[in-house]
């Protein structure tokens, strides 16, 4: 009976299941967590938990993706039937409803936008995030599956709009920001290729002093603005960012159209960020020269009169800090870039290294030295081990 197992939605694995469901993880991942809930089986208590805390919640959200629910219900029912257990009548009824009301042609819309809720779950006792607990970010994005991005034979998801997809390295940078808020708080941050805006939303959460998000695709930029507003942030360039609207926002973020190939040096010099960020921007060899040009201008040391500061970009202090960042802190005088990337094509990556060297930039792999916490433990499609973190600075 359902009373035999009490499932707490605020603790793992109940919290993990709900988080995975709201972030639209694949059905197989959900079923794996469901088995953990039921000690190996999707029991009646587990089914009741899923119905009360997930399916009912999804039905209340008119924008929740029905094809996703239909596919999950199909696999859930099959899983329970194979174990020769009873399936809740509610699951049969809802699945039958979807079978009748949703035609096959409505189930595969590659350009469709869906709404996901990415929950960053902070471990107990984490000093660096003791004021957070759980941080949930609603994101409107393209319909795509993260695990497809790990295939070696493709460099971008050809089945959807890459600019409106949640890329693995944006999740990694978001974890980095939330794990080490002291690095980014009170800093002016500039992101190249901001996509859905997840990294910028996390920067706002840790109170970066100024946030500039950029993208070269107008439709991606429009979608990013929607996501900022969903998270209580105002986009400075948005026509809806009136004074009345701004008063309702927790923070203002500057959003700019930045095509790497045509943006002038003068335009870029108007920004003087302390930190530049980029997630999965090293993917197209054709774009790399323009990307490196943009990075080199943004990372150029600040000038005072005719002289240039000579302070180091990153200072290392001897003490081991409690937040695990091993003494990393950024200088306010010289900008530094944090670039997270999955290396899918070694030739493309080597081309980037060559261009970085030609631009008089130094690049350092700090993946092992600056490890973010695993704040997405429920997201089985997110392979953190495939991502490398690099810093860039002027030599």
| pLDDT score recorded for residue 238 | 44
Closest to 166 (Cα-Cα) out of 272, 315, 25, 277: 25
Answer yes or no: do 148 and 99 share one domain.
no
Single residue among 106, 129, 147 that ends a domain in this structure? 106
The answer to whether residues 98 and 128 belong to one domain is: no
pLDDT at 126: 54
* Torsion, Cα of 339, 340, 342, 347 (10° steps): 10
Examine the domain organization and report whether 143 and 56 are in the same domain: no
**Last residue of a domain, which of 106, 136, 164?**
106
Terminal Cα-to-Cα distance of the chain (whole angstroms): 66
C-alpha–C-alpha distance, residues 178 and 122, integer Å:
9
SS3 assignment, position 249 = coil
> Does 252 lie in the same domain as 384?
yes
- 61 and 173, same domain (yes or no): no
- CA gap 196, 202 in Å, rounded: 12
Token pair 């927790």 in the structure block, residue: 250
Question: At what angle are helices 66-82 and 89-101 packed, to 10 degrees?
Answer: 140
Instruction: Give pLDDT, residue 5.
Output: 59
Q: Are residues 222 and 193 in the same domain?
A: yes
Residue 280 and residue 166 share a domain: yes
Strand 188-192 relative to strand 275-279, pairing: parallel
Question: Are residues 358 and 243 part of one domain?
Answer: yes
Residue 180's nearest CA partner among 138, 126, 232, 136 is 126
Same domain, 168 and 270: yes
Q: How many domains does the chain have?
A: 2
Task: Please report, for the domain that includes residue 231, its CATH number.
Answer: 3.40.50.150
The three-state secondary structure class of 137 is strand
Residue 305's pLDDT is 38
Token couple for 180: 């080490």
pLDDT in tens, 47-92: 999 999 999 888 887 667 888 899 999 999 999 999 999 999 999 9
The rounded distance, in Å, linking the Cα atoms of 189 and 210 is 6
DSSP assignment of 201-228 equals HHHHHTT-SEEEEEES-HHHHHHHHHHH
Predicted local confidence at residue 332, as pLDDT: 52
Please count the other Cβ atoms lying within 10 Å of the Cβ belonging to residue 332.
13
Q: Determine the Cα angle at 60 with ends 59 and 63, to 5°.
A: 80
DSSP per residue over 63-128, as a string? TS-HHHHHHHHHHHHHHHHHTTPPPPHHHHHHHHHHHHH--GGGS--TT-EEEEEEEEEPPTT-GG
Residues 183 and 296 in one domain: yes
CB atoms closer than 10 angstroms to residue 335:
27
If DSSP codes are grouped into helix, strand and coil, which group holds residue 339?
strand
Both 52 and 142 in one domain: the answer is no
152 lies in which domain range? 113-394
- Which of 65, 91, 106 is the last residue before a domain boundary? 106
Buried b / exposed e across 299-321, counting CB within 10 Å, b at 16+?
bbbeeeeeeeeeeebbeeeeeee
Give the predicted TM-score (pTM) of the model. 0.85
Residues of the chain with pLDDT under 70: 1-5, 62-63, 102-112, 125-132, 144-163, 238-248, 250, 303-333
What ranges in the chain are assigned the alpha helix state H? 14-22, 27-37, 44-50, 56-60, 66-82, 89-101, 168-179, 181-184, 198-205, 218-230, 243-247, 265-269, 288-298, 346-358
Question: Are 376 and 345 spatial neighbours (Cβ–Cβ below 8 Å)?
Answer: no
Task: Report yes or no: 388 and 341 within 8 Å, Cβ to Cβ.
Answer: yes
Is 234 found in the same domain as 293?
A: yes
Strands 210-215 and 251-257: parallel
């Amino acid at each position: 009976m359902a009373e035999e197992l009490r499932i707490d939605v605020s603790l793992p694995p109940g919290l993990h299941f709900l988080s995975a469901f709201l972030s639209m993880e694949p059905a197989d991942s959900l079923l794996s967590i469901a088995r953990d809930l039921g000690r190996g089986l999707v029991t009646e208590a587990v089914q009741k938990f899923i119905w009360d805390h997930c399916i009912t919640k999804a039905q209340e959200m008119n924008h929740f993706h029905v094809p996703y629910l239909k596919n999950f219900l199909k696999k859930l029912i099959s899983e329970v039937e194979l174990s020769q257990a009873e399936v809740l009548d509610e699951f049969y009824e809802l699945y039958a409803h979807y079978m009748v009301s949703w035609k096959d042609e409505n189930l595969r819309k590659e350009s469709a936008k869906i709404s996901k809720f990415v929950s960053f779950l902070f471990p107990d006792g984490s000093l660096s995030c003791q004021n957070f607990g759980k941080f949930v970010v609603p994101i409107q994005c393209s319909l795509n599956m993260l695990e497809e991005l790990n295939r070696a034979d493709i460099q971008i998801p050809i089945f959807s709009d890459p600019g409106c997809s949640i890329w693995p390295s944006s999740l990694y940078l978001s974890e980095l920001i939330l794990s080490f808020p002291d690095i980014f708080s009170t800093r002016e941050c500039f992101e190249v290729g901001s996509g859905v805006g997840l990294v910028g939303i996390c920067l706002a959460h840790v109170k970066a002093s100024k946030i500039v998000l950029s993208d070269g695709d107008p439709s991606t930029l429009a979608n990013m603005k929607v996501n900022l507003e969903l998270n209580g942030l105002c986009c400075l360039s948005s026509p809806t960012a009136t004074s009345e609207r701004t008063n309702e926002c927790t923070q203002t973020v500057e959003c700019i159209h930045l095509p790497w190939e045509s943006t002038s040096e003068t335009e870029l010099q108007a920004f003087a960020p302390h930190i530049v960020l980029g997630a999965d921007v090293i993917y197209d060899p054709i774009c790399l020269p323009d990307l490196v040009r943009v990075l080199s201008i943004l990372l150029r040391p600040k000038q005072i009169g005719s002289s240039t500061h000579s302070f180091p970009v990153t200072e290392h202090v001897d003490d081991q800090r409690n937040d695990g960042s091993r003494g990393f802190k950024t200088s306010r005088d010289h900008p530094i870039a944090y670039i997270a990337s999955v290396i899918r094509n070694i030739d493309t990556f080597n081309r980037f290294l060559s261009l970085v060297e030609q631009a008089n930039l130094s690049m350092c792999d700090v993946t092992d030295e600056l490890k973010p916490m695993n704040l997405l433990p429920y997201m089985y499609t997110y392979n953190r081990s495939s991502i490398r973190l690099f810093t860039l600075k002027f030599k």
